[in-house]
Structure 1
Amino acid sequence: MLFTLFAALLTLLLLALVFWPVARAPETAAADGHDFDVAIYKDQLRELEADIARGAIDPAEADYARAEIGRRLITAGEAAEAESRAAVKRRRSGIAMLVAAAVFVPFAAVIVYSLTGSPGMEAQPLAARLEERQPMASSQTIQGMDINELVARAEAHLNANPEDGRGWDVLAPMYLRLGRAADARNAFERAIALQGESAQRRSGLGQAYYMLAQGLVDANARAEFERALELDGGDSRSRFFLALSAAQAGDEGGAVAAWQAIVDDPGAAPEWKAAAAEGLRRFAAAAAEASAPRLDEETMRDAEQMSAGDREEMILGMIARLDERLRDNPDDVAGWQRLIRSYAVLGRADEATDALGRALDAFAEDADKHAEIAAFADALGLSSGEAAQ
């Protein structure tokens, strides 16, 4: 009832605003104009009578002038009277239109609403509507459907059909999206057991292990990502997480190189391209600092005043001196790692592979150092096996 009363008052207010100009008297300006003309002509008659009394005008001309002014005065008076009658008529028609509209518009609105609206629906308070919409707004959706509902349906189906490998294959990524890492791991393992392994399933299982390790690419996750790349060398998810593993191990240069390769790959998945770009943003500065040759304070001051070309030439010279020193004194694991990383970051793959081979040869009799160099090369994406051969 309150709403109906409010709607009626609002309708009347809007009608008044719309039709008020119609109801107003629009003749004010025209009537004022005719009254002004009448006043002018009357003044001219008084001035004419004054001129006649002073003898300033000939009687014949005075009669002609009096007749002309009188004619104009009569015409102006008739025009004013006609305008007044027309104004009254317009006012009456405007009021009639306003009354008709005030009756017709609400009546028409009631008819249209009764045909297209829901007048019998019960009122629902705002709080109730908000409570009803809150779960819909907060839930994740897939193609407009509630993902929790989809998961529940899939779980019910798999409880009845546990050997449906396709069902586990569909359910596992949903678990990842919901952050249910343990369930995702179990689902991917079931899908692999029933459907066979694929790069997508192995990398999904690796991501589940990564989530279970609280954001660390541990040995289990790394093994799954490496297996996925054996199945599909272009698997974007595995490439991203192996680069992240390198960064977590302190090899920012290798991580940056791997992420850059993903960003530059037109066939990489868009979501992992974006993740790789974020990795580049976070680790590029640290990689540049780690791969740069170590400079003393005086050399750093000189480098700041050099052009980009001169600075690059200076860095290459320092790398060459490091290379020469390692040829004379090869028993330096950190030195070999710095040399290999420097060549890799500069994009000199041949020099990096050559340095890796010489480092492996230098520690051929020391299994621990040999394994350390080989693992370091693998993290950079270099083939230690080929280098060793």
Structure 2
Amino acid sequence: MTIWILFAVMTGAAVMAVLWPLSRRPEAAGGPDADAAFYRDQIAEIERDMGRGLLSPREAEAARAEAGRRLLRSNAAVDHIVDKEGEPALRRRRAASTLALSIVPLLALATYGAFGSPGLPGRPATARAPADPAAMDLGQAVAQIEAHLAKSPEDGRGWEVLAPVYMRAGRFADAAKAYEAAIRALGGNADRYANLGEALVNAGDGVVSAEARAAFDKAVAADAAAPKAQFYLARAAEQDGDRAAAIGRYESLIAAAPADAPWLPLVRQRLAALQGPAVDIAAMPPADQSAAIRGMVEGLAARLEGQGGSIEEWTRLVRARMVLGEPDKAAAALAGARRALAGDPAALARLDALASSMGQEARP
């Protein structure tokens, strides 16, 4: 209630400040007293001039008569103004002031009642404060970005913003598609290719597929020191059983890494894991060594059959089968490679050369 009283007082004061001058009786500029004093001074000046001999008595009498006439005319003009703007006009102005003082606040209240919300309860400042951005619903934000990108698929920046969100949400396949869209719109660079490859690796349950390897190769071509791409290429060599290549990449990463690189402990862990088993295998009895090597080859074969791979990976598998004395499995791997790489004439030519070197028919 207090606030309404305050508003009423403020409104009344504003209206009165505007209308108060209209309620006062006007006065002639300078007022009648000022005019009388002026003409009295003029008559006194005429007397002084006559005393000094500057005016004759006749001239002085004429000047006094003229000053008197002007004084009478001035008083008549003032009376005319006062009569013209007299009591009836004054009453009209005062009535208009009173009407405005009452109508303006009432009109404002009526407008607020019609279009405002006087019945709405008050809200504390904390309730009116904007929501904490950190507490915003992530799913709702993603949906808004997706709706925008559905209308503007060429917005590469939007895809680049959305892809890491997909990664954090575990939507790795969607993240890979988002990175591909960003590369199409903005062009490829080391970071975008490396991020695409990482999304593909996560979508493939940790397996560095041929598609992911191609992305990492492009990242390294753009920046030979790209650490993420180098790390996953070392992982690819590790999965292929190429222990020496994996160790070489890990060691190069460690040598070039800043001392405070956040990924350095992980690289050292992977390198230690590779170097430790190598000593154990070398110290194993021949039968155990053969079993360990066969396990690595079987892992490579399972990955290539399930995920596919590059010509280098298939070649490595075929040769490993031959070294282990498994010509039938080597031929099966060769046939699988031809099926997987049927659309790549250059790869098929290399497979033919491999088959010839193995003493097999080029087309079994």
Instruction: Pick the TM interval, shorter chain.
Output: 0.3 to 0.5
Query: When the two structures are superposed, what TM-score results if normalisation uses the length of structure 2?
Result: 0.42
Larger Rg: 2
Query: When the two structures are superposed, what TM-score results if normalisation uses the length of structure 1?
Result: 0.39
